[in-house]
Structure 1
Amino acid sequence: MSTEKPNVSKGIIDRLKALDDLPHFPDALVKLERAVASDEPLEVQDIVQLIAQDPRLAAGLIGVVNTAKYTTGVPISDLSEAIVRVGINDVRVMAHAINYKSSFKSKPPFSEKHFMKHAMLSAFIAQALAKSLHVNKGEAFLCGLMRDIGVYLLAVEDREKYLEVIKLADYDVSKLSACENKIFGTHHALMSARLLQQWKFPKEIIMGVAFHHTPEKAEEAYKAYAYLTFLSEQAVFRLGFDNGIADITEEEREVPSEELLNALEYFGLAIEVYDELIQTAYEDAENMGV
């Protein structure tokens, strides 16, 4: 997966876990993931019982249904009604998004607001792209959402070191992984993948996240997820949003990079179609209050 020094990523995750700084994956979401993976038919009441175990998730879902995308003008306060309104298929991704936004106890040495918005927009865009690229929408959403969670892990591990990374990368996302490797001996994509392994996420998501900066190096079985995750991240940058740490150049917004064109070519997707898809996904996300 990487040429990192032995067990650097695992060591960081173990230390954060010991300090209680590792993001928590709620039991309710674990059970929801198992229920989805079992392929057994799920009824609304089954989902209600799972989500109700975590008041944060329940309150968050009720909040989602009262946003512009879902509201009919009549406020909803009942969890069953909220799940019916959102739809069983979307509850899983919404629950993950809500959990992500409240997972971190320690503040990072960069703009948390920019970082979270970038993650959420990337998730919505990944889901929208998945429809056209014949990739599982739920897994695509999670690839987009979770791809940079390793940035947070490195920054919480050592704030001063991560500030050094930011300075060294000089706000250029193409340099970020190399700078992380130089300072930490590992990089954020691998850190993200290690955490997702611990959380027992599907391998498609783990590998898509692990290789989202080098999708051409992913195993053939996981290339689609790696390229899709790369495209979802690049899309947010193309829309003009940095992630609080780095960005693409203005020139790359005007003239797509070779890496972006190669990713689009992998799917046979024209740049014009890509830009239309990401604009629509952005508008949907805005309607949901992202």
Structure 2
Amino acid sequence: MSEITLQMAVADLDRLPALPEVVLDLMDYLQRPEVDVGQVAFRIARDPALAAKLLRVANSSFYGLQRQVATIPDALTVLGLRAARTLITGAAVVTHFQTLVVAGYDQRAFWLHSAGTALCARALARELGTNMENSFTAGLLHDVGRLILAARFPEKYRSVMAYRAEHDCYPIEAEQAVLGFDHAQIGAALAVRWKFPAEIAVAIANHHNPMDMPANSLVDLVHLADVMAHVLEFPGGNEDLVPCLSDVAWNRLGIGWVEFKRLLGEVDAQRDETEWMLS
């Protein structure tokens, strides 16, 4: 079995299918402080699959509308532009990665956990008054390096999982022991490749070790969102261990237990959004 290095794994990212130009253009436009609904609708219409998903969620029973939503502008009005931003990002990224073939890896469980973490990150960001779109994206991609390693280096990743089972440790500890690097580093490199804001890459790279970072709201937020997703049983896999909550991250965010429980309830009520992203 040949050895791989972090440099090799990062270089291999260039071999992944690129995000469609229409999706990149839409995601770039949605990063602007002010966006025009008409321009968003125009960009969505250029991707028929994305447009169909947006209309489907707008017409879902969750919104309880009396009439059918038939146009993209109407769907954006129903959802609200802010919610639509995060849902569009989620659907685009998940759809893109569903083209990867990963033998023996439960991709559905992986994406359920990732989408659940994204919803938790969005709820936390709203509570804290920080950027909900960046928080959602960082939560969605926090573990994507794990999927990439399993897809691109399946034999080595089977060794990682065997080590994890033998030592009953966290996957990131098994990755570091077997590979010498971990999925968080690969996920951060992908965020840089896709030209996401720098704070997203930093949050992905450090969500397992916020205590080693200077005060950074998005790192702390994604760390807590990951824990919340486990508490709410958004699975990452049958053998996925619940991460330990960092006291440092918890204290820096300043969320009380009453607020925390309320946020858990709010996200639990939004579970159908994960199904929309995965369908």
Q: Smaller-chain TM-score range?
A: 0.7 to 0.9
**Contact 1:67–1:287 (8 Å) recurs in 2:** no
Match of 1:17 in 2: 14
Match of 2:160 in 1: 165
Rounded Cα–Cα distance in structure 2 between residues aligned with 1:115 and 1:233: 12
| TM-score, normalisation: structure 2 | 0.87
Rounded Cα–Cα distance in structure 1 between residues aligned with 2:167 and 2:75: 41
**Contact 1:13–1:153 (8 Å) recurs in 2:** no
Match of 2:231 in 1: 238
User: 119, 144, 147: which is aligned to 2:142?
Assistant: 147
| Greater Cα shift, 66-75 or 46-55 | 66-75
1:210 partner amino acid: A
Match of 1:4 in 2: none
| TM-score, normalisation: structure 1 | 0.84
1:268 counterpart = 2:254: yes
**Contact 1:65–1:76 (8 Å) recurs in 2:** yes
| Greater Cα shift, 193-202 or 238-247 | 238-247
User: In the TM superposition, what is the alpha-carbon distance from 1:43 to its structure 2 partner?
Assistant: 2.3
Q: Deviations over 1:252-283 (max 9, x none)?
A: 8xxxx4x3433221112223431321221121
Match of 1:56 in 2: 49
**Contact 1:64–1:288 (8 Å) recurs in 2:** no
| Greater Cα shift, 167-176 or 105-114 | 167-176
1:78 counterpart = 2:71: yes
| Greater Cα shift, 65-74 or 194-203 | 65-74
Match of 1:227 in 2: 220
2:21 partner amino acid: D
Rounded Cα–Cα distance in structure 2 between residues aligned with 1:218 and 1:44: 38
Rounded Cα–Cα distance in structure 1 between residues aligned with 2:166 and 2:137: 25
User: 20, 28, 35: which is aligned to 1:26?
Assistant: 20
**Contact 1:146–1:192 (8 Å) recurs in 2:** yes
Q: Deviations over 1:171-230 (max 9, x none)?
A: 99962112112323321111110000000000111111110001122344xx21111101
Rounded Cα–Cα distance in structure 1 between residues aligned with 2:73 and 2:168: 42
User: 200, 203, 218: which is aligned to 2:198?
Assistant: 203
Rounded Cα–Cα distance in structure 2 between residues aligned with 1:201 and 1:231: 21
Q: Deviations over 1:45-97 (max 9, x none)?
A: 11111111222211121122122333404332322221221122222211111
Rounded Cα–Cα distance in structure 2 between residues aligned with 1:280 and 1:211: 26
Give the SS at the match of 1:152.
helix
**Contact 1:67–1:289 (8 Å) recurs in 2:** no
Rounded Cα–Cα distance in structure 2 between residues aligned with 1:61 and 1:269: 32
| Greater Cα shift, 52-61 or 262-271 | 262-271
1:263 partner amino acid: A
**Contact 1:69–1:288 (8 Å) recurs in 2:** no
Match of 1:111 in 2: 106
Q: Deviations over 1:152-174 (max 9, x none)?
A: 11001122221221222239996
**Number of residue equivalences:** 271
1:127 counterpart = 2:119: no
Q: In the superposition, relative to structure 1, how do residues 42 and 124 fare at CA in structure 2: closer, same or farther (>3 Å)?
A: same
**Contact 1:110–1:245 (8 Å) recurs in 2:** no
2:253 partner amino acid: F
1:102 counterpart = 2:95: yes
Q: In the superposition, relative to structure 1, how do residues 176 and 96 fare at CA in structure 2: closer, same or farther (>3 Å)?
A: same
Q: In the superposition, relative to structure 1, how do residues 182 and 100 fare at CA in structure 2: closer, same or farther (>3 Å)?
A: same
User: In the TM superposition, what is the alpha-carbon distance from 1:32 to its structure 2 partner?
Assistant: 2.5
Rounded Cα–Cα distance in structure 1 between residues aligned with 2:90 and 2:41: 17
Rounded Cα–Cα distance in structure 1 between residues aligned with 2:167 and 2:233: 14
**Contact 2:115–2:274 (8 Å) recurs in 1:** no
1:285 partner amino acid: R
Alignment of 1:161-200 (within 5 A): 161-170=156-165, 175-200=170-195
Rounded Cα–Cα distance in structure 2 between residues aligned with 1:12 and 1:42: 36
Match of 1:278 in 2: 264
Give the SS at the match of 2:270.
helix
